[in-house]
A and B are shown apart, each in its own frame.
Chain A
Amino acid sequence: MKSASRLEKVLEKGEFAVTSECGPPRGADAEVIRRKGEILKDVVDAVNVTDNQTSVVRMSSAASCFILKGMGLDPVLQMVTRDRNRIAIQSDILGAAAIGVNNILCLSGDHQVFGDHPKAKNVYDMDSIQLIHSVKTMRDEGKFIEGEEITPPPKLFIGAACNPFADPFEIRVPRLAKKVNAGVDFIQTQCIYNLDKFEEWMKGVRDRGLHEKVYILAGVTPMKSVGMAKYMKNMVPGMDVPDEIIERLKGVDKEKRAEEGIKICIETIQRLKEIDGVCGVHIMAIEWEEKVPEIVKGAGLYPRPEV
């Protein structure tokens, strides 16, 4: 084992893993995190805590992870390279490991123009692949980026994101290979709505044997409404929402659309479970954490295994 991560144990055991997400609040209230933690506890194996997602200022990921850890959850510290240089990143990694965080998700982060501080200066001292490489060096070689020794090194299970739907499509598998070579342990993909395209990507992944080198968790997000589906399709870069999804939501009464969204999500998970090389599912119910237990149970993934 590379870490004390529950997620790593579940995957290592060959169980189909379930992770979810907790978005920290735009305020200093720890209760918000605790409420979300209560909903997700025992329902999922690990919980990602987003790092100022869409460049909107929120409570820090590390502090939120600390709260969840205290409740007995296995948090995944999301870390973007947008806001911190290598000094701050390595410092935060040591701090996270010290408070018992076992997992990290290495991201470049959304550009700040999307957020509430578009006039900010971005950092990008490194990119997400260089971050993977840095965390691995810290963990396995016990060394900082400049080669100085770390005692003791942070033992983190290293994750990264992958968007099978972004362009150019032909480098999407090579890009995963690059992350694997940099030392990533698990992948959580972008939300999957276009299953055919995802399967095409997974075939490419298997053809190169990458599914044997990294655990792939397929990302899903339940749709709340037609408006949300249209927004995801048209406004979120790198998102592939087929028209069938929108039509299906439109096909039911307005008050039943959220329910239909959950149904679609569960069906998607059931199909994903059958794909060779998919080791788990990452449920991103955006500000809709209370629906995660229903999705997990509906997809036949409850109770979670003992490890």
Chain B
Amino acid sequence: MIVGERKPIEEIEAMIDPFEKIIVLGCRECVTVCSAGGEKEVGILSAALRLSREQNGRAIEIKEFALERQCDHEYIEQIRSMVPNYQAILSMACGAGVQFVAEAYPEIPVLPAINTNFIGVTEEQGYWTERCQACGNCVLHLTGGICPISRCSKSLLNGPCGGSSDGKCEVNKEIICGWQLIIERLKSLGQLDRYEEYIPIKDWSTSRDGGPRKVVREDLRL
């Protein structure tokens, strides 16, 4: 899933400072799972914003709402009748959701309440880590199912570098060396000889380096 976390309250307060009537718009997908921008977080953030504005003597009217998804037209349409009554939308979705809502309602500012962090997993309650950088050209079959692009701090395809120490990355001791993981995994698969296979220079054109990307499935188009 896409993992995000809410921006600091001060940053959000500054963003909505010019407005008296806003919609705080949650998303029931990824950001709900990572407890950043779901219905519950919409309630918590709205309460905090109301309180701080009241303390400053400038009350704010907030409409709390959560969409099934902010990355699909059909759900975004659900707020169309509501939008003209407000001055801004504070979206608690990922960066994709914020933008898609903004595209649907060009007449109103749509502001981000979330920092979108990465594509990752829930390691345990309250702890998420990155697994994929969406390079568009998966190499997991070559590297024991562990991604060198996202898990090596230098995205080395023929790692590890000389900075790998006690299984930890040179960047800091909290980071497990991705290549240590790859080697351990290859070993447990009985494929350590694969370590010596040279992985050629990567075609990054399928990554963001090729410009904004799209996927078109003609078989599915109407």
Contacts and interface: CB of A to CB of B under 8 A. Distances in A.
Q: Are both chains from one complex?
A: yes
Interface in A113-133: 113-114, 122, 124-130, 133
B153 interface: yes
Interface in A172-217: 174, 177-178, 181-182, 190
B162 A111 contact: no
A187 to B, nearest CB: 12
B163 A129 contact: no
Contacts of B195: 171, 174, 178
Given A145-B201, A178-B196, A108 B154 contact: yes
A130 B170 contact: no
A237 B156 CA distance: 17
B156 A181 contact: no
Contact of A168 (B153, B158, B163, B183): B183
B78 to A, nearest CB: 38
B154 A111 contact: yes
Interface stretch (A159-167, A251-259, A260-268): A159-167
Interface residues of B, number: 31
A124 B158 contact: no
B19 interface: no
A304 to B, nearest CB: 28
Residue among A126, A145, A190 with the highest chain B CB neighbour number at 10 A: A126
Given A108-B156, A168-B164, A178 B204 contact: no
Contacts of B79: none
B160 A166 contact: yes
Interface in A89-135: 108, 110-111, 113-114, 122, 124-130, 133-134
A82 B165 contact: no
Given A86-B201, A145-B201, A129 B162 contact: no
B84 interface: no
Residue among B158, B162, B177, B192 with the highest chain A CB neighbour number at 10 A: B162
Residue among A127, A129, A174, A182 with the highest chain B CB neighbour number at 10 A: A127
A122 B170 CA distance: 15
A133 B198 CA distance: 10
A111 B171 contact: yes
B157 interface: yes
B198 A182 contact: yes
B158 A163 contact: no
A168 B171 contact: no
Contact of B163 (A86, A166, A171, A181): A166
What range describes how many residues of A lie at the interface?
20 to 34
A167 B166 contact: yes
Nearest to B165: A237
A238 interface: yes
A113 B174 CA distance: 14
A238 B163 contact: yes
B170 A238 contact: yes
A145 B196 CA distance: 21
B136 interface: no
Contact of B170 (A111, A128, A129): A111
A134 B170 contact: no
B156 A124 contact: yes
B109 interface: no
Given A145-B201, A166-B165, A237-B170, A174 B159 contact: no
A170 B183 CA distance: 10
Contacts of A124: 154-156
A167 B154 contact: no
Interface in B152-205: 153-167, 170-172, 177, 180, 183-184, 192, 195-196, 198-202, 204
B196 A174 contact: yes
A168 B180 CA distance: 7
9 contacts: A111-B170, A127-B154, A127-B159, A128-B158, A129-B198, A166-B160, A166-B164, A171-B160, A178-B196
Interface of A: 82, 86, 108, 110-111, 113-114, 122, 124-130, 133-134, 145, 161-163, 166-168, 170-171, 174, 177-178, 181-182, 190, 237-238
Given A170-B183, A237-B162, 8 more contacts: A111-B171, A127-B159, A128-B156, A133-B200, A161-B162, A166-B160, A166-B163, A167-B160
* Across the A-B interface, the 3 shortest Cβ-Cβ residue pairs: A163-B162, A237-B170, A129-B158
